[in-house]
Structure 1
Amino acid sequence: MAKQTGNAHQLDNLLIDAEYPELPGFSRNKVRDTYQLPDRRRLLIATDRQSAFDVVLAAVPYKGQVLTQIARYWFDETKDICPNHVISYPDPNVVMAKDLDMLPIEIVVRSYLTGSTNTSIWPMYERGERMIYGHKFPDGLKKNQKLSKSIITPTTKPPQGGHDAPITEFEILETQLVTTEQWHEIKEKSLALFARGQELAATKGLILVDTKYEFGLDENGVVVVADEIHTPDSSRFWIAETYQRSFEAGEEPNSLDKEFLRLWVVSQCDPYNDPIPVIPDDTLREFSNKYVALYEQLTGLKFEIPETSIPVRERVRSALALELSEYF
């Protein structure tokens, strides 16, 4: 794990706002600030904002950089399975991407009975549901148990500020949210991407538990994977060597992903009905350490701690001014 020095100012040099008035087509998502550029290009800037339960909770040191660099690793490792949206990386937090016609569903692939959000399969199972996302589950399963095979549990993509909602394959095909041909293609590609992710993660001592994919169509109608892939925001990663012992003891697995923060929130309140308390600085630093550790364990590279004397926002702006000099 990277030794994170300079704790006193880790939380003072965060990229919370990446809105630059020189650039056109600005929009803000929970984590990324994006820009619509000419010639079917889209600029995505991963900030340090941290979301869970469909709200922004805090800002986390190095979060945006880790997300961008882990996604970069996985895009490179899976481009033979499915083309991706990447054009270039102007900055450690920034992706210049193809602007796609996004498909209106998210594909979640799962190999374990786990989760803490309303769209996760464990809370549904714990409530007594046995037909979940169109899949039949037997009685007697335990939290964090491995499933007999990987399954797809899609959700709708809501308008800004809305909540993801579970949907079944039957409902997707019945309503033609995507065409039958598109559905079968993204389903096949999702399972192939997930299998590659599990295979490579296993060689690094990790279990890729589940993940989310988003797909769009390029100018030629080709299916392209977009947004992010196999990051700790969109996936669960467990430490392989301690999983079985934790499972048998009825304990949460050692993880390097967003679930750490979700579980902290759930231990403090009902995040869907109660105000979420302020997250302590030490908890945010511990969370940051997990993301950095995942990057290093997956890639085998040392995480490059940003220069603390330069505000991240200024560094990103300088990189954008070089990449898009016509606007600056």
Structure 2
Amino acid sequence: MQPAAVNVLADATLPEFPNHYRGKVRDTYELPDGRLILIASDRLSAFDRILAVIPHKGQVLTQTARYWFEKTADICPNHVLEYPDPNVVVGRRLKILPVEIVVRDYLAGTTGTSVLTLYKQGQRNMYGHHLPDGLRDNQRLPKPIITPTSKAFDAGHDEPLTAQEIVTQGLLTAAQWDAVSAYALALFARGQTLAAQQGLILVDTKYEFGLDADGQIVLADEIHTPDSSRYWIADTYPAKFAAGERPNSFDKDFVRSWVAARCDPYVDPIPEIPAELIEGASKVYIEAFETITGQTFHPPAASDGPILERIRRNLAPYRP
């Protein structure tokens, strides 16, 4: 979807490493000692499918998550062990809990499980919460709510759940649900506070948790990245909301909204995404990283060659 000369990471297959699992965005390898190598590609996933490949996206995700893992380590233990490459994290192997935790503070979203989509369909009771009539698109909710979904390990669709269903179905114990709920709300509160200092609104986000070898609940995957979270530019919110428009954002609605306006993305073929939209999305990801973290983004050096070859060199010490 980009010219061949553009240095992107569409695939992170490394045959010399064992136990490869190719996710929507990340390629994962499980080492014999139990450590995991997680490589963030430049694939853009939405609507349970891959939409495009966005230059620099994988590096942005890894480095943004690194910023947040370090800023929240006092709240919740996480899986990170080290960062051998800008696109790579080496982490602890966890037993991933079968529930994805989504925290929302606004009536927003475009996917089939978003509160805005369900609300527009006439639903007022969702995820175990009751929302009042008369809410408008992108309005702030009375308080942050957790909207959990089943974790679709087989690449199927995530399904909405309530806290009661999670416990009665045996997906989590009551104690585990209480723990992950408390962790999620505390992480989200920290995220909103730090985002506000950067002129951003952290609108909603997802968290994944797992159990380590001792049964301890550990934060996994990523945290508060442009893929897992929706950010709005704070100073655009009042006027945009008053006009009934979506505030300026850093999240992947940039491409997702373009696709959703042209097809049913859960059913129809995805139309070819214009090169200028992909270039614009790349700039959005970089701007997001710099605004969220206050750090300068350093793109791959031309002297490093293709991204996958750089990753292969940096992972040589981990090769079994």
TM-score tier after normalising by the smaller chain length: over 0.9
CA deviations over 1:207-236 (Å, ceiling 9, x no partner): 000000000011111110000000000100
TM-superposed CA distance for 1:275, in Å, is: 1.4
Once superposed, which parts of structure 1, at least 4 consecutive aligned residues long, lie more than 2 Å away?
A: 8-12
Matched, 1:232 2:187: no
Matches within 5 A, 1:101-180: 101-180=95-174
- Which of 241, 249, 272 is 2:243 aligned to? 249
Which residue pairs with 2:187 in the alignment? 193
2: distance between equivalents of 1:265 and 1:53? 10
Out of 266, 288, 293, the position equivalent to 1:294 is 288
Distance 2:116 2:295 in 1: 34
Instruction: Give the partner amino acid of 2:35.
Output: R
Which one of the candidate residues 300, 308, 313 is aligned to 2:308?
313
CA-CA distance at 1:9 after TM superposition: 6.4
Q: Provide the TM-score with structure 1 as the length reference.
A: 0.95
Cα RMSD of the aligned pairs, angstroms, is 1.2
For the residue of structure 2 that corresponds to 1:290, the secondary structure is: helix
- State whether residues 20 and 29 of structure 2, in contact with CA within 8 Å, keep that contact through their aligned partners in structure 1: yes
CA displacement 1:288-328 (0-9 Å, x = unmatched)? 1111001101111110011135111111111111x31x43x
SS at match of 1:288: helix
Cα deviation for residue 266 of structure 1 reads: 1.0
Residues 55-70 of structure 1: matches in 2 within 5 Å? 55-70=49-64
Structure 1 residue 14 displacement after superposition: 0.8
* Corresponding residue of 2:87: 93
Shift of 1:259: 1.4
Residue pair 2:147, 2:161 contacting (<8 A) in 1 also: yes
* Shift, 1:273, TM fit: 2.4
Q: Report if aligned partners of 2:48, 2:266 keep a CA contact under 8 Å in 1.
A: no
Q: How does 1:207-222 map to 2 (within 5 A)?
A: 207-222=201-216
2:310 is matched by which residue type in structure 1?
R
2:210 match: secondary structure: strand
For 1:282 and 1:289, how far apart are their aligned partners in 2?
A: 11
Q: Alpha carbons of 1:121 and 1:10: their partners in 2 closer, same or farther (altered >3 Å)?
A: farther
Partner of 1:40: 34
Q: Deviations over 1:20-47 (max 9, x none)?
A: 1111111100100000112221110000
For 1:152 and 1:143, the matched residues in 2 are separated by 18
How many angstroms apart in 2 are the aligned matches of 1:183 and 1:124? 24
Structure 2 residue identity aligned to 1:113 = L
Q: Secondary structure at the match of 2:97?
A: strand
In 2, Cα distance between equivalents of 1:240 and 1:135: 26
Q: Secondary structure at the match of 1:96?
A: strand
Which residue is 1:267 aligned to? 261
For residues 283 and 237 of structure 2, the distance between their equivalents in structure 1, rounded to whole angstroms, comes to: 20
Q: Contact 2:99–2:150 (CA<8 Å) still a contact in 1? A: yes
Report the 3-state secondary structure (helix = DSSP H, G, I; strand = E; otherwise coil) of the residue aligned with 1:268.
coil
Q: 1:10, CA displacement in angstroms? A: 8.7
TM-score (norm 2): 0.97
Paired letter, 2:77? P
Alpha-carbon distance between aligned partners in 2 of 1:88 and 1:258, rounded to the nearest angstrom = 27
Offset of residue 276 of structure 1: 1.1
Letter of the aligned partner of 1:38 in structure 2?
P
* Distance in 2, Cα, partners of 1:42 & 1:31: 15
Taking the aligned partners of 1:36 and 1:139, their CA distance within structure 2 comes to 48
Larger CA deviation: 299-308 vs 84-93: 299-308
- Aligned-pair CA distance for 1:11: 6.3
